[in-house]
Structure 1
């Protein structure tokens, strides 16, 4: 099967240190003592490296600080639904491979699991300000969505619009509400369901944190990639289809599901950071099962 390469966008790295990290844990680095930017700067000073503490993981590498850096991906079919999924992520670093350095093979700087909450690519200092799932939104807004057995009845009672996501109609709901209004909508929906049905309606309030904003920005991208502004710099986030994640990456590091991150020279001699996720091989699983 021929490889398909997709341009995902660009990131800005004003501090000169690029980070590829697990989106679900970016905001936890500061809770562990030393900020992400300080750890990343130390790793970058020796040419790049892998950062890991508790459940937080990332890689950091020096990068050009005065131009947007291109991000591309090659794809392979998902074993879950055969839709294209990221197989190789490649980030241009805007720097020329040293003339005296060996270009014959990749330089491994670590490995990373695929975080079920997604991955983030951005500037190390900028990501110190990242707001995660449990943080408050800077703009004071939130989205409310509802779905389930009684969603049509709830829509007839309360209104709301279909919110398209990932190529399907998606749940009902309201976007860009002030937090108090979002909470009132969610409370009314929950009380209505409890009174009439007891169960059968799921209601979610998603505050406009950076975590939610990147996921929302990727709702209409075929590879679930979203670009957002964080502290004046562009950051890219990548979400994973949960079915695909369950089949390809389930268990993450605890199950040995980690993938190499390397530093390489592209065809022009420019340095690139490459994260390689091998295509799913059903034959490997069948062979393993046969040997149990």
Structure 2
């Protein structure tokens, strides 16, 4: 590959199985049958493969168990936001390239998840707490924004919150207290048609939220978290870029190939190539 790559961080895979999956659904595999670790382990044992069950999708591959795995990305300017966006996501697997020749091995394809992507250990992800799960610490952030957010701040207090969740909020509240406060703000706001212009949300401290929060200040929205004794990486997506380029995902045929390839130095990488829209360079 000729693109310049930038480092996004590293992940660890004690089980020897690496998963790249849709973050919105990564914790829902057990509700559909076998847990992710079982499915991912079987795919990795076969050399790697694509997993799909209803809305849940992922790719699983074998990876080195005893070392951090480097995650990198090549970027291209988005013609929607003009900011750099990921065009190639690459994970060094820490394993030698053992296939005959240098031809890439197609494992399948993945859509770009509006809720972000997750890269992590196949077994560690069994304990991942998704966006609708209860937080391990029992806490949540209340965030409010909009035309009358400053008036809400004067009434309910709080502090500046990191973009894009700001401008105001009350962090680290017990979940029940956070939900009560959000209800009070909604009552104060009044009806959506004629009330004050304020939106409010309760963000539980799930692993999903922690990962997205960790990546807020990263130019490519990449943030690392520790889950189940493993270092994992969450990658967010700009809402405007996703809405214009990736909305509809698999249902609209907007999927992108995932391959195993040689790194040119005898090693193996997992590569997800996010193609530009048809007709765009």
Normalising by structure 1, report the TM-score: 0.91
1:157 aligns with 2:160: no
Q: Is contact 1:79-1:247 (8 Å) kept?
A: no
Tell me the residue number matched to 1:111. 109
Q: Aligned-pair distance for 1:46? A: 0.9
Aligned in 2, Cα 1:276/1:256: closer, same or farther, shift over 3 Å?
same
Q: Superposed, which structure 2 residues align to 1:44-63 within 5 Å? A: 44-63=44-63
Tell me the residue number matched to 2:184. 188
Structure 1 window deviating more from structure 2 (185-194 vs 25-34): it is: 185-194
Q: Is contact 1:76-1:279 (8 Å) kept?
A: no
Q: Aligned-pair distance for 1:170? A: 3.0
Specify every segment of 5 or more residues in structure 2 that has no aligned partner in the other structure, as ranges: none
Residue in structure 1 matching 2:234, options 213, 233, 237: 237
Distance in 2, matches of 1:208 and 1:223, equals 22
Distance in 2, matches of 1:129 and 1:220, equals 26
Distance in 1, matches of 2:147 and 2:123, equals 45
Instruction: Map Cα deviations across residues 80-120 of structure 1 (whole Å, 9 max, x no partner).
Output: 1100000000000000111xx22322111111011111110
Distance in 2, matches of 1:73 and 1:252, equals 21
Tell me the residue number matched to 2:217. 220
Distance in 2, matches of 1:219 and 1:5, equals 20
Distance in 2, matches of 1:185 and 1:202, equals 13
Distance in 2, matches of 1:35 and 1:42, equals 11
Specify every segment of 5 or more residues in structure 1 that has no aligned partner in the other structure, as ranges: 285-292
Q: Is contact 2:226-2:232 (8 Å) kept?
A: yes
Tell me the residue number matched to 1:96. 96
Report SS of the residue matched to 2:276: coil
Q: Is contact 2:144-2:166 (8 Å) kept?
A: no
Q: Aligned-pair distance for 1:245? A: 0.7
Query: What is the root-mean-square deviation in Å for CA atoms of aligned residues?
Result: 1.8
Distance in 2, matches of 1:4 and 1:162, equals 36
1:120 aligns with 2:118: yes
Q: Is contact 1:48-1:62 (8 Å) kept?
A: yes
Tell me the residue number matched to 2:75. 75
Distance in 2, matches of 1:199 and 1:164, equals 23
Tell me the residue number matched to 1:37. 37
Residue in structure 1 matching 2:142, options 141, 144, 154: 144
Q: How many residues align?
A: 279
1:170 aligns with 2:166: yes
Distance in 2, matches of 1:123 and 1:224, equals 20
Q: Is contact 1:103-1:265 (8 Å) kept?
A: no
Normalising by structure 2, report the TM-score: 0.94
Tell me the residue number matched to 2:198. 201
1:6 aligns with 2:3: no
Q: Aligned-pair distance for 1:280? A: 4.1
Q: Aligned-pair distance for 1:283? A: 4.8
